[in-house]
Structure 1
Amino acid sequence: MRIDFVPAVESDETYLLALRKQTMTEHLEAAGLFLSEAEHLARLRHLYSCCYLVLINGERIGAIKYQSTASELNLLQLQIERDHQGAGYGSAIIQQILAHHAGKQIGLSVLKANPAFGLYQRLGFAVVGEDEHEYLMRYEV
């Protein structure tokens, strides 16, 4: 399986907003967070330059947003189209990130109501903190 990250451009915004709402609204609302269209759009546009379309064997299946420095990587979002969930793509994408950024501290936050929490645990992330809605996790080698 070939996984490519292609930088998102302005014309991808419509797709990315629909993807965000498709993959996040249920989990946000389960956490008691009800976002307006404008709030979803603001979150999408935050650090937009760190957003990449995810292609599996050339087919767009979702998006990832992350910030990377010499010593750290912060995974901000991973969203996979509903039709492609459960096929192992999330694991493969995270494993590629881990391999490519070996030696860095890798962190993320995940909504407590999001089943991706279990995926991150299986891949070696541990809870290092939490707030009312999210777990803060760090990859433990």
Structure 2
Amino acid sequence: MAATSPLHAHGITLRPALEQDMAFLRGLYHQSRAAELAAVPWPDVTRRAFLDSQFELQHRHYIGQYPDASFLIVERTGSPLGRLYLHADGDALHIIDILLLSAVRGQGVGTALLAHVRQLARQHACDAVQLSVLRDNAAALRLYQRLGFTRVGGDAMRLAMRQALS
């Protein structure tokens, strides 16, 4: 997918994830779960093994559940910053997953990615962008609400959100 102006403003490009990205993706996943597991009294080797197994399960689930999805690496000047997984789902473009390195959060990268996703959705004649987010992910919830996503459902752990495109 070609970069558009919201991405250019932040020097961001997107490219398909490749086999050689697995180490980065695994590390990104580990980082995303670090705070959650900090209080668990496991030795580091046990914690790493657990996170590796959880990453592998999530990765296999995404590939199996969404075989025609776009699994993208978010980069700036050739350095990976995160992942963006997208799937066209009926009349909506579904964000399967968006995850950024903690060092780049709060710098407008997520906002630029979401603007790009809205542009892609319009280009593909979708009526909306949809996603789900963990209920306790306050920063992401604030971002999505600020950008006009509304809650449309969910369960005990996750909220389903949708942004209609006009």
TM-score by length of 2: 0.72
1 or 2, which has the higher helix percentage? Answer: 2
The aligned residue for residue 3 of structure 2 is none
1 or 2, which has the higher strand percentage? Answer: 1
Provide the aligned length of Structure 1 versus Structure 2.
Answer: 137
What is the SS of the residue equivalent to 2:159? strand
Residues 135, 158 of structure 2: 8 Å contact kept: yes
Per-residue CA shift, 1:75-103, capped at 9, x if unaligned?
Answer: 01111111111111000111111112124
Aligned-pair CA distance for 1:128: 0.3
The aligned residue for residue 125 of structure 1 is 149
1:64-75 alignment runs, 5 A limit: 64-69=84-89, 71-75=91-95
1:47-62 alignment runs, 5 A limit: 47-48=62-63, 50-62=70-82
1:1-141 alignment runs, 5 A limit: 1=9, 2-26=11-35, 36-37=50-51, 38-48=53-63, 50-69=70-89, 71-102=91-122, 103-104=125-126, 105-114=128-137, 115-141=139-165
CA shift in 2, pair 1:15/1:86, >3 Å: same
Question: Which runs of no fewer than 5 residues in structure 2 stay unpaired?
Answer: 1-8, 39-48, 64-68
Larger Rg over CA atoms:
2
Amino acid at match of 2:32: T
Question: Which runs of no fewer than 5 residues in structure 1 stay unpaired?
Answer: 30-34
Measure the CA separation in 2 of the matches of 1:108 and 1:43.
16
Residues 117, 129 of structure 2: 8 Å contact kept: no
TM-score by length of 1: 0.84
Aligned-pair CA distance for 1:24: 4.0
Residues 75, 106 of structure 1: 8 Å contact kept: yes
Aligned-pair CA distance for 1:70: 6.4
The aligned residue for residue 66 of structure 2 is none
What is the SS of the residue equivalent to 2:99? strand
Per-residue CA shift, 1:23-47, capped at 9, x if unaligned?
Answer: 2453699xxxxx9331222102333
- Percentage identity across aligned positions? 27
Measure the CA separation in 1 of the matches of 2:134 and 2:35.
11
What is the SS of the residue equivalent to 1:40? helix
